[in-house]
Amino acid sequence: MLFGSKNSPENKNESIQAFGIVYFTLKLQGMVIMEDYRLRHKIHVVTNYVLTNIFYYSSFIIQLLYVDNLRQLLENIPMNMCLTACSIKFLVILRLRPSLIEMNKQLKRLDSRPMTDKQKDKLGKEIKFCRVISSVIFVLYMGVNVSYFLVAGLSRGTKLGFETWFPYDWRENAFRYWLSFFIQVIFQQQLAVQDVANDSIGVLYLCILSAHLQIIMERFADIHHDPEKTEEESLQDFIRCLEDHRVIME
């Protein structure tokens, strides 16, 4: 047979599996990639954005007004720039949410096309690669914050993980220190989770689309005169390849 055995439920690859970690991080922020976007999801995403990207981010901006010297200013500016970029990227992904839903539909369509065992293995390896990469990014991003907080936690109440403003003196007593410490832990890890999706979702989609494009080009190359097929059937194979190629280009 031209394409070997067709995809079966047992060996069928689903491209959407490549984004498992990323979609998990988006779900934590209230952004679910599905058409049924309920009110509770909207409340979740707005609440998370306001608390994390506005209120918590404001504590970094206000802290700039309380620096004592140029060194402290230069130490705080990079974090402010990073948080600004993080907020903008998340808004971009939120705006493109309908496009992600449509892309997933098209990926499902491409997954349903007939593939040889070799092509299914190629797609399967790309899916696993994407899952490994996103898992590594998740661990690294979370780990960076953990390292900062380990240093702060061992400072005996003299240092926080990051220089942020609080409406009270967190050095005054242990309760205020640990309260401030855990507020930072929660919001910084939430920012790290947000950045996992911000920085990887585009790359992961390109990897999967690249794998599908290679498979389509192989399908093009496999189209030839087949005595077991009519001319019309061969033409339909060619048209399907053209349609799938157009989907990827879009």
Burial of 24 (0-12, 13-18, 19+ CB in 10 A): middle
* d(C-alpha 81, C-alpha 77), whole Å: 6
Confidence of residue 11 (pLDDT cuts 50, 70, 90): low
30 Cβ neighbours under 8 A, 6+ residues apart: 41, 42, 43, 44, 45, 46, 47, 48
Answer positive or negative: Cα dihedral of 219, 229, 3, 6.
positive
pLDDT higher than 70, residue 212:
yes
115 occurs within a structural domain: yes
pTM of the complete model: 0.81
CB 123 within 8 A of CB 15: yes
How far is Cα 233 from Cα 239, in angstroms, rounded to an integer? 10
What is the model's pLDDT at position 12?
Answer: 66
Residue 67 lies in a domain: yes
Q: Is residue 171 part of a domain?
A: no
pLDDT value for 139: 94
pLDDT (average), residues 63-92: 85
Three-state SS sequence of 113-164: CCCCHHHHHHHHHHHHHHHHHHHHHHHHHHHHHHHHHHHHHCCCCCCCCCCC
219: pLDDT confidence band, cut at 50, 70 and 90? confident
Q: Per the domain annotation, does 229 fall within a domain?
A: yes
Residue 149 lies in a domain: no
The angle at the Cα of 144, spanning 140 to 50, to the nearest 5 degrees, equals: 100
Which of these ranges, 31-40, 101-110, 111-120, 225-234, has the smallest mean pLDDT?
A: 225-234
pLDDT in tens, 153-163: 888 888 888 88
Structural domains of the chain, count: 1
Decide if pLDDT at 224 tops 90: no
- The answer as to whether 150 is a domain residue is no
Give the model's confidence band at 9: pLDDT under 50 very low, under 70 low, under 90 confident, else very high. Answer: very low
Q: What is the distance between the alpha carbons of residues 131 and 129, in angstroms, rounded to a whole number?
A: 5
In a domain, 176, yes or no: no
Give the residue numbers spanning the domain of 242: 15-143+160-166+183-249
